[in-house]
Amino acid sequence: MTKLKEKLSFFHVMILTYMIQTGVVVFSITHLEALHFGTNGWLMALFTSLVVLVNLMLIAIVHRMSNGRSIFEILEKSIPKFILFPIYLGLAALWSMIGCLVAKEYVLIFQMYAFPTTSPMVFKVAIDILAFLLVIKGVYNISKASTVFFFSTIWMNLLVFKALDDIKLERLTTFLFKEGGDMFTGFLNIYIAYIGYELSLLLFPYVNKKTKLMKAVMYGHLIRTFFYLMLGIVSYGIAGHNLLKKMLFPLLDLLAYIKLPFIERVENLFYGFFLFTTLITLVMYYWAAGESTLRIFPKLKSSVHYFVIILCSLIVSTVPVALDQVLRVLYLLGCAQIVIAFLLPVILILLLLIQRRKVVKHG
């Protein structure tokens, strides 16, 4: 049977970007905003989003100059493989660890609500099995699944309208970023809430001209920005920045606020739905890790790659046991990822310029 080699469509890339960006930080982002920026910290989601757009611009330049070649091809054309392979391994390790710890954090938060004494690895393994099943299907099917997951979670954003009566705008105050804390750490923390878009660097071979890759990524990012802002306004309007500083996971408290006639404390159930967004985040990071290890060992089947990656990261993820440790490690990994998100496109642009020069010289 000939499977149709389909390219990712505009809509799918958009949804995929949104879903990768929506990880576990969404539970705590308003807390981080309040903690580091104080009054009206939710606006920081907008400013950070602008910085992300700059980063996206860099990636867009790479995309335009690369003519659809994968970034690995570009790198390998100018840099010898023995230098590149350790870098690939490093990237794979970073990406798989990010994916893995996101899942671990998700599980640990869940265990605050139920199953407090069960080993978190039980759930972690279950989620990893799901991730494995999805990641071996390839990026096209991941994007298909993410579209379904998108539609089954996006409506939750509308639930804030249930809380509309309790939003008081005077709680937002008229002050900008007063009573905050360490703003730089805060900026990084909020930036981490946006990471995931940089994986679009790896999507080059999976799209065609019709996809308008960078536009799609940008739109996906803007959807995310919009919902972060909405969440910010609602959280600030309901709780005020002083209380937000105290709440570790304001989104969950916000959901608990919502009462449906036949069911209460919906955060118990809806927290489950966030598994969908988390799953896509971790699957895409596993996928990215697999993409880079595939360059080193191209002979091995891709499912073997993913299996080894997931197994290794699973083993490493047993080390941090406390939620606090996971958050800290995730913060460090996130910072590393931010550096890569900026550095990689810059390097690629330089390489492409050099390569272009060479072509001109030889031609």
Which two structure tokens, joined as six digits, stand for 322? 């406390």
Binding mask 12-41 for another protein (x = CB under 8 A): x--x-----------------------x--
For 127-166, the DSSP string reads HHHHHHHHHTTHHHHHHHHHHHHHHHHGGGGGGGGGGGGG
**Locus of tokens 């069960």:** 118
Q: How crowded is residue 300: how many other Cβ atoms within 10 Å of its Cβ?
A: 12
**Closest approach of Cβ 132 to another protein, in Å?**
8
Nearer to another protein, 57 or 269 (CB): 269
> Are 39 and 175 spatial neighbours (Cβ–Cβ below 8 Å)?
yes
Measured from the CB atom, the residue of 157 and 355 that comes closer to another protein is 157
130 binds another protein, rule: CB under 8 A: yes
One residue of 87, 264, 311, 319 binding another protein per CB under 8 A? 264
Q: Does 272 bind another protein (CB under 8 A)?
A: yes
Q: Tell the residue number behind the tokens 């393994």, with chain if given.
A: 125
Contact between 208 and another protein by CB under 8 A: the answer reads no
Of the two residues 66 and 143, which places its CB atom closer to another protein in the complex? 143
d(CA 191, CA 187): 6
The residues in 108-127 that bind another protein, with binding defined as CB under 8 A, are 110, 112-118, 122-123, 125-127
Q: How far apart are CA 38 and CA 41, in angstroms?
A: 5
Structure tokens at 162: 């249930």
Cβ distance 302 to 290 under 8 Å?
yes
Report in angstroms how near the CB of residue 35 gets to another protein at its nearest.
Answer: 13
Cβ-based nearer residue to another protein, 27 or 191: 27
CA angle 181, 248, 54 (to 5 degrees): 60
Contact 95, 201 (CB under 8 A): no
Alpha-carbon distance 75 to 355, whole Å? 10
161 binds another protein (CB under 8 A): no
Q: Does 102 bind another protein (CB under 8 A)?
A: no
* Torsion sign, CA atoms 47, 325, 196, 248: negative
- Whether residue 295 contacts residue 88, with contact meaning beta carbons closer than 8 Å, is answered with yes
> Are the CB atoms for 180 and 186 separated by under 8 Å?
yes
Choices 54-62, 82-90, 140-148, 343-351 (CB under 8 A): range interacting with another protein: 140-148
54, 67, 262, 359: which one binds another protein (CB under 8 A): 262
Q: How far is the CB of 359 from another protein (least distance, A)?
A: 37
Nearest-approach distance from CB 212 to another protein, in angstroms: 15
Residue 281 CB neighbours (<10 A): 27
Binding test (CB under 8 A) with another protein, winner from 46, 152, 161, 356: 152
Residues of the shown chain interacting with another protein in the complex, contacts defined by CB under 8 A: 1-4, 6, 9, 11-12, 15, 39, 110, 112-118, 122-123, 125-127, 129-130, 133-134, 137, 141, 143-145, 147-149, 151-152, 170-171, 173-175, 178, 238-240, 242-243, 245-246, 252-253, 256-257, 259, 261-266, 268-269, 271-273, 275-276, 279
